[in-house]
Structure 1
Amino acid sequence: MKTSRMIIVIIAVFLVFLIGINSNKRESKPKIIVVLKTLDSDGQYWKIIESGAKKAFHDFKIDGMVITPKHGVNDQADLLKNILKLKPDALIVAPIQPSPIIPILEKYKRKNIPVLLVDTNLDWNGQTAYIGTDNYGLGEKCGELLGTMLQPGDEVAFIYPTIVNGDMVNRLKGARSVLAADGIKIIAELPADNELGEVKRSLSNILGNYPNIKGIFAATDIVANGTLKGLKEKGVKIPVVGTDGTMQIIKYVENGEISATIAQNPYDMGYISVEQAVKAMNRKTVNKKFDSGIDIIDKDNARTKIDFLTSVQK
């Protein structure tokens, strides 16, 4: 009798153990890791992407994490190597540079982990999807906007980041094509990496050599912000067109310091990248390229955009 009672107890304990395992399986969430370029003081654009991703984590019940490298491209490569050991269900990454990253991403592919690229595309066929802006089209829109503020024969300059990837190349090409068609002369193209130093030096170089310049295309909002500050210090008022739609630039539009700018949709990039990663994990159809679109921000819609950015970053 004691033996049979003991057997019943053992069976009951085993059943409880099995129920516990199945319960844990039901409660476990898919794991998605997002690796961006920065979230530091110059990284408001990336913080908006982070906000979109975190909203999607919540909506799709994802165990998600957004992380960034501390010191650029080499740290990003090391970070991706370490993340692979965690065996995430999907990886979303905004690559800084292709060369050290692609061999690591190939390892994810061999382990059947979906790899989605956000904001920055790579010349690599292994990605599950790219979610971001059509950068050639973005450049065209920037050229069109700048062109509406100028006359044929006017001179303009480009200032762009020192790290130039394929997306940036396409962005610059798009702007060149439209401005050239409008008869506007691009008299200088200079790299500059930060607001406080290089942008001001490049701007001083441009203004010193080309005093008749009528406008500037700044290929990121970090560059645009530095350019606008530099122009203000020098008492020069000419149109500057940026590309990212960050809060400070849109406030310049609202205040009338610039008439309009082009905005990407980083919040949508973050949200959609997670949404598409969930589809890929569930073996559903995923578009290889997803254009997150762009907006023209002027005085009429600047406040609406500011309110939206404020709400998503709370």
Structure 2
Amino acid sequence: MKVANLFTRTKAAVLLSSALLGASINAAHADSMALVLSTLNNPFFVTMKEGAESTAKALGYDLVVLDSQNDPGKELANVEDLTVRKVKAILINPTDSEAVVNAVRMANNANIPVLTLDRGAAGGKVVSHIASDNVAGGKLAGDFIAEKLGNGARVIQLEGIAGTSAARDRGEGFNQAAKAHNFAVLASQPADFDRTKGLNVMENLLNAHPDVQAVFAQNDEMALGAVRAIQASGKKIMVVGFDGTDDGKVAVQRGLMAATVAQQPEKIGEIGVITADKLLKGGDVEANIPVELKLITE
């Protein structure tokens, strides 16, 4: 009789444990949202992730973070995985504004709301886009160069990944300033937002254009690569970056870079999660949410 009672109690405990585990899994599933990043091999996006994670935790969400490794194919596979998981919302920082359209539409077909961070999508239904005003930032950088060197300065631009809205918009803003201040743009060449590529591209451009006075790099990683190339050449050339990463700000403080246009990646991640939360709770959200920029010069 005692053995039977023990068996009955054990069976009940197992059933209760299974029920609680199932409830826990379902609760986590019900409260999950996802963040798909273009790459985690860039301090800017790591900081964005950290802002999103801390905010999601505070709001009670399980945040799934996936790295697309700058590969649109990987990005599409990541979103497909998230549709299977049935997350409640997807925040995506696209690898490419055109290539991400298929991923956005896949999420649309699964009735999962999509929000874009930092870089936009060229198609599909995006509920909200949270980003700095990259056009204004590019112009801010160009105006700063003109303030220091005057009209007609000889400038090189290092471009980001072709096809991304950030590269296009920062380039557009810089070109507005270049036209307004009659810059001689000696070259405008992609280095894919990468420090090593920034170094290699800048070495080649220095050989081709030894009279350059300033460099505008569309992110701090490329700017830091350009700084290394300039140091090796022994020249004195002004470098202005973009993003306001920790490494970029240190370079400005040390006098290696003249300035960086500072975004707030942590804030972008934070606002992205807050906006998704508001949407999931039935609130109205803005189609475009700007995040403030500032120029760091010391």
Return closer, same or farther for 1:182/1:229 CA change in 2, 3 Å cut-off.
Answer: same
Counterpart CA distance in 1 for 2:72 and 2:26 is 38
Letter in 2 for 1:88: V
Q: Which residue of 2 aligns with 1:147?
A: 146
Distance 1:131 1:278 in 2: 14
Q: Distance in 2 between matches of 1:192 and 1:134?
A: 21
Corresponding residue of 2:45: 46
Moved over 4 A (4+): 23-29
CA offsets per residue over residues 262-308 of structure 1, 9 Å max, x none? 11110000000000000111110111001112111122xxxxxxxxx
Q: Secondary structure at the match of 2:65?
A: strand
In terms of mean alpha carbon deviation, does 92-101 or 221-230 score higher? 92-101
Contact 1:224 1:241 in 2 (8 A): yes
Aligned to 2:137: 138
State yes or no: 1:184 paired with 2:183: yes
**Which structure 2 residues correspond to residues 166-205 of structure 1 after superposition, within 5 A?**
166-193=165-192, 194-196=194-196, 198-205=197-204
Tell me how far 1:27 sits from its aligned partner: 5.7
| Alpha-carbon distance in structure 1 between the residues aligned to 2:80 and 2:129 | 21
CA distance in 1 between partners of 2:159 and 2:218 (Å):
5
The aligned residue for residue 67 of structure 2 is 68
Q: Which runs of 5+ in 1 are unaligned?
A: 1-15, 300-314
How far has the Cα of 1:94 moved from its partner? 0.6
Question: RMSD value over aligned CA atoms?
Answer: 2.4
Distance in structure 2 (CA, Å) of the matches to 1:155 and 1:174:
17
In 1, Cα distance between equivalents of 2:278 and 2:161: 36
Alignment CA distance shift 1:286-1:113 (3 Å): same
Q: What residue in structure 2 maps to residue 214 of structure 1? A: 213
Structure 2 counterpart of 1:223 = 222
Provide, for residues 5-35 of structure 1, a one-character-per-residue CA deviation record: whole Å limited to 9, x for no partner.
xxxxxxxxxxx99x979x8699655111101
Say which is worse superposed, 28-37 or 84-93, in terms of deviation: 28-37
Q: Residue 33 of structure 2 aligns with which residue?
A: 32
Contact kept? 1:149, 1:239, Cα under 8 Å = no
CA contact (8 A) 1:91 1:116 kept: yes
TM-score (norm. length: structure 1): 0.82
1:233 matched to 2:200 = no
1:229-285 deviation per Cα after TM superposition (whole angstroms, max 9, x unaligned): 110111112111111111111001112223322111100000000000001111101
CA distance in 2, matches of 1:223, 1:118: 21
Q: Secondary structure at the match of 2:242?
A: coil
- Structure 1 stretch 127-136 or stretch 98-107: which is displaced more? 98-107
Aligned to 1:261: 260
Judge which range, 184-193 or 238-247, deviates more: 184-193
In structure 2, the CA distance between the partners of 1:20 and 1:189, relative to structure 1 (3 Å rule), is closer
CA contact (8 A) 2:39 2:70 kept: no
What's 1:84 paired with? 83
Report if the CA contact (8 A) 2:199-2:227 is conserved: no
Q: Distance in 2 between matches of 1:241 and 1:82?
A: 39
Larger relative contact order (CA 8 Å, sep ≥ 6) = 1
- Kept in 1: contact 2:241–2:257 (CA 8 A): no
Any idea what the Cα deviations from partners look like across 1:55-89, whole Å, max 9, x if unmatched?
11122111112220246221111111111100001
Task: Identify unmatched segments of 5+ residues in structure 2.
Answer: 1-15
Kindly indicate whether the alpha-carbon contact (under 8 Å) linking 1:36 and 1:93 is maintained by their aligned counterparts in 2.
Answer: yes
Q: CA deviation at 1:144?
A: 1.3
Q: Tell me if the contact between 1:132 and 1:292 (Cα under 8 Å) persists in the aligned partners.
A: yes
**1:279 partnered with 2:272:** no
Partner of 2:8: none
